[in-house]
Amino acid sequence: MSSDAPPPLGERISGLFEPAQLMIWAMSHYFRVCTEAVFQKGQVLAPLLQTGRLRDEAFGRFWIEFSSTPARTAAIEPNSEDEANNAPVGSSALIPPLLKTASGVVLDIGPGTGTQMPLLRSPAIKAIYGAEPCAGLHAELRKKAASEGLAEKYTILPCGVAAAELVPALADVGVDVDSGGVFDTILCVRVLCSVPEMERTVRELYRLLKPGGRLLITEHVVNPWRTAKGSLAGRLAQAVYQFLGWSWYIGDCHLDRDTEKVLRVAAEGDGGWESMQLDRCFEWSAMPYLSGTLVKKSG
């Protein structure tokens, strides 16, 4: 179901341009990293021959700055900060009630710098494994785990979510997935937009869930412009940002993924999910969200 009403026209128009701020911010970091490589380190051909390394470094710097500056984060999300009481609203408000339900052995996909870690201090959580492929974020992630008292529970996996990387990384820390599901909870917060081969990745995540395990998601998705609450202008804005290089500068993020369809298909082999409780929000914008809980069948 859809859980929000469109704001006034002026705010909707403004919202179509808000992702541009994020893109320009990320671009500035990439050009700065390239400039440093050429003029400070003498790596003249690095922008041509080492684009992967430079992109990783630039995105790491950008994400550290982005995730540690709430006021600037608020500027690029629809209504994301209530200045009167500092309570998160907009897409930020979707996250706390969801993550506070996490329990058991948890897989945290793409934790970044650990901004969601304060929501994972429940004694119901036995262990947390954070799969973060961007090495430039690991130091901040470790620091956050220590500051939140989770250093003993939190294990960083230096890998992406693809099984070819994730399974060996889990084995290296003593987690055997050959027998099937090992996680009680899997967290996907603003991450499925950037994983490679999303359909295959979600199927692999489904396999890693224990029977009765829960997948908790908060993801921006393709604008459902053909529906009553969707927006053709929002969908066109998404296409423009993609064309201008959104994925290149924003860590392979995609604005146009039909995440709900992929999630449904992942469980088809078992006759579907036991339950899917999903809300769709901000369908009028260039960054509509899908948020909720999916439960794997117990048997």
CATH code of the domain containing 109: 3.40.50.150
pLDDT score recorded for residue 141: 93
pLDDT score recorded for residue 168: 93
Least confident stretch, 1-15, 170-184, 249-263: 1-15
Identify the band that residue 92 occupies on the pLDDT scale cut at 50, 70 and 90: confident
pLDDT score recorded for residue 123: 95
DSSP states along 83-110: TTTTEE-GGGGGHHHHHTT--EEEEEES
Q: How far apart are CA 136 and CA 181, in angstroms?
A: 30
CA distances from 78 to 6, 26, 55, 71, 111 (A): 11, 19, 27, 13, 22
Joined tokens for residue 78: 């629809």
Domain count, the chain: 1
Average of pLDDT values for 280-299? Answer: 93
Higher pLDDT, residue 79 or 147: 147
pLDDT in tens, 141-158: 999 999 999 999 999 999
Helix (H, G, I), strand (E, B) or coil at 242: helix
Least confident stretch, 60-64, 80-84, 127-131: 80-84
Q: How far apart are CA 237 and CA 108, in angstroms?
A: 30
Question: Which pTM does this prediction carry?
Answer: 0.87
244 φ, ψ (degrees, to nearest 5): -80, 0
Q: How far apart are CA 81 and CA 140, in angstroms?
A: 23
The parent domain of residue 192 ranges over 1-299
Q: How far apart are CA 232 and CA 286, in angstroms?
A: 10
Joined tokens for residue 297: 């069948």
Residues 6+ apart with CB under 8 A from 84: none
Please check whether residue 167 is in contact with residue 161, taking contact to mean a CB–CB distance below 8 angstroms.
no
Characterize the bridge pairing of strands 289-295 and 275-281: antiparallel
Task: Please list the residues that pair with 292 across neighbouring strands.
Answer: 217, 278
| Number of continuous H segments (helices) and E segments (strands) in the chain | 11, 9
Higher pLDDT, residue 84 or 299: 299
